[in-house]
A and B are shown apart, each in its own frame.
Chain A
Amino acid sequence: MKKVFKVFTLVLVVTFLASIVLSGCASKETGSSSESKEKVVKIAFLNPLSGHNADAGQQDLNAAKLAVEHINAAGGIKALDGAKVELIVSDTTSDPTQAQSVAERTLSSHKVAGVVGTGISGLTLPILPVAEKHQVPIITNSISNDITNQGYKYVFEPVPKGSMFGDTQVEFLKALNKDFGLGIKKVAVVYENSAYGVSTAKGVKERAEAAGLEVVINQSYPQGFTDASSLVTAVKQSGAEAVFPVAYTTDAKLIINTMKSMNYDPLIIGGGAGFLWPAMGRELGENINGLVSVASWNWDSKHISEDPELAKIPEAYEEKFGEFMTEHAGPTYSFVWMLKEAMEKTGSSDPKVLRDALAEMEITSGPASLMQPGKVKFESDGWNKYAHPVMIQWQDNKPRTIYPIEDASVKMITPNK
């Protein structure tokens, strides 16, 4: 027994020492090898692949890999003699402390042109100072308002901000009231107590009140709760005719099923996330058709479905991974292409040069314009001024874009009631 243990400890100590030596070497090695050998440009991918955000991270990873595959198949970076793109994949885990360490490791040991990620605000925020100190541009699909108001120079947020979701949802409800004569006045806002829930729900409440709707209930619930009955009971009691729920996958399932079983049938205007992920489609089967939700991006928005070049991308994604391209995957795909565009334009893979190029670029075509609404131009704080959310409706077991009209690819069917 003692012997086994001694060997075991020895192995641990040796791995510790080896790791220091190895990572030390790794950082030196990359410094010298980028000049010689076959040309390779590295792009860092930082997203949670373990812990409670792993499902979102996996969608991001699929998309980023697909983008790299497409870029390399099309001849790599032409302005850099056809250099191939290599994706440096790192698992930030779902723990902010670990995320910062992982970012530090990735950026210290690899000379990267830029960073793609993360899709979770709570993980992106601690990474931002790291990217700033390494002077590497980071393109993120986190939607928190805090991402771009901290004065960081190296962050780019091409996606709509969380606070904008409410605007779209309330405008949509007003349009519904008009087109279908629903006459909805009382609304309920229920949201998970997470960074995502808090920042989107705040906007919904403010916009709804400004639009003259009566917010009869504005209630947060603990993320990952085991029972939605109290929540649904309260909402039903309040007499709300429309509900704006912001929930991730498991909670969304509980809420929807509980509403159904309590014979409570309000108009549901989902707050993204759980309401438009493939798992929800599998869960509800046929019954999902008609359900509406806001989305930061959707695979069939008009600028995509009407552009054959862009329309091929979600198709390729679906073929490869067996599910439609999600609101996490789509933007991540375009981010990799944005870095590519910047490299083509400057003929450089120096992150500082690329940062300046991104800040000035206006993207209107090509795979990088997959980002909604097909246009990207960053403001001085790094936010894409064109970005806005859309409304989707589940039709034929897929989320389809229905609103605003300029992004819509299909007509709305009678909303799920």
Chain B
Amino acid sequence: MRNINILLKNKLLSIGALILLVFPLFIESRYIIHATMMVFIFASMAVAWNIIGGYGAQISWGHASFFAIGAYASFLMFLKLNVSPLISIFLGMVLSVILAIIVGYPSFRLRGVYFSLATIAFAEIVKLLLLYFQEFTGGANGLMLPFKGQNPLNLQFNSVVPYYYISFLLMGIIIFLTWKLENSRLGYFLKAIKEDEDAAESLGIKAYQVKLIAFIISAAMMAAIGTIYAFNIAYIDPVGVAHLDLSIKIGAIAIVGGVGTLWGPVIGAFIIVPLTEITNALLGSTRGGASTALYGLVLMVVIIFQPKGVIEFFNGKRKKTKNNSVKASI
């Protein structure tokens, strides 16, 4: 039974992947390709967030900081030293890991809501510092990436299609790594901590260490996504990449899709991102505010009717999960 399920899942998966792979060949609209690419980017972020927020049940509202670190590191390396983003992406990840340790080291001594609020505070500090050190970061003016002609080494292309595939690949790598992680010792430890942190500790699991490692992995992924995203949009500023709204959006996508599951965040991205696009397209021109109001409404409706996320709908038929997984903490 289990095997059939996996097979079925994989079949679905390969069909889905295949469709997405050939998709740009048949679609002319740059916008559709661009929007689908944004789905990949947000899916990648939500999956990365889910490692600590879902499996570890440590809800972070500051993940935009790591994204911003990746974006700023690669931009500055490129603008000041002309270093290819393919190299500086790793620098961004290293810096992000350092920040994750700085944030995580003290914060993981806190539980539940206190941890969440600490991540907000750290993220606000990162944003304010990016604004404050104007000479270096460009401050509120942001940084603009000049187009130096098509060059894969600089991740600059004339067409939107290469970015489509880059983002798709990135999402694939992140999902794969997360899948590996889910089935590793670390994954089991995280699940144990999520169920009952005290019990897990009494079994000899070093909860603090496990959470920190998961946080570091998640942060490194965020930085990589930040680099790719920044070179695509070619303009970054603290409000755009380090804002609380972005952190919230990442978390919301994962929660709407279903936390603590591999595919939940991906499903969340495939719902939330198109939803914001559609509501903006349909309602944006009539009267300001309608589209975001509807977005808020959808978040509420999903939570009221299916707090475990949309993925429950897909799982519901096959198995009734008896755990109270989402209950753990915010």
Contact = CB atoms under 8 A, between A and B. Distances in A.
Nearest to A9: B313
Interface stretch (A103-111, A334-342, A360-368, A397-405): A103-111
A28 B281 CA distance: 17
A125 to B, nearest CB: 4
Contacts of B235: 96, 125-126
Interface in A132-182: 132-134, 144, 146, 150-151
B278 A19 contact: yes
Interface residues of B, number: 52
A49 B128 contact: no
Given A12-B271, A54-B288, A126-B233, A105 B142 contact: no
B292 A104 contact: no
Contacts of B139: 193, 198
Nearest to A27: B29
Contacts of B239: 96, 122
Given A49-B288, A96-B239, A195-B140, A108 B32 contact: yes
A185 to B, nearest CB: 27
The prevalent SS among residues of A at the interface is: helix
B131 interface: yes
Contacts of B141: 121, 144, 146, 195, 198-199
Contacts of A49: 284-285, 287-289
Contacts of B152: none
Category for how many chain A residues contact B: 35 or more
Query: Main secondary structure on chain B at its contact with chain A?
Result: helix
Interface in B30-51: 30-32, 34-35, 38
Given A16-B270, A133-B158, A150 B291 contact: no
A200 B166 CA distance: 38
B140 A125 contact: no
Contacts of A249: none
B313 A16 contact: no
Most buried by A among B134, B140, B146, B306: B140
A91 B281 CA distance: 8
Contacts of A93: 280, 284, 291-292
B253 to A, nearest CB: 13
A194 B146 contact: no
Given A199-B141, A222-B128, A102 B147 contact: no
A346 to B, nearest CB: 26
B162 interface: no
Which 6 A/B pairs are nearest by Cβ-Cβ distance? A49-B288, A91-B284, A108-B31, A89-B285, A96-B240, A50-B288
Interface of A: 1-2, 4-6, 8-9, 12-13, 15-16, 19-20, 23-24, 27-28, 48-51, 54, 57-58, 88-91, 93, 95-98, 100-102, 104-105, 107-109, 121-122, 125-126, 129, 132-134, 144, 146, 150-151, 193-195, 197-199, 222-223
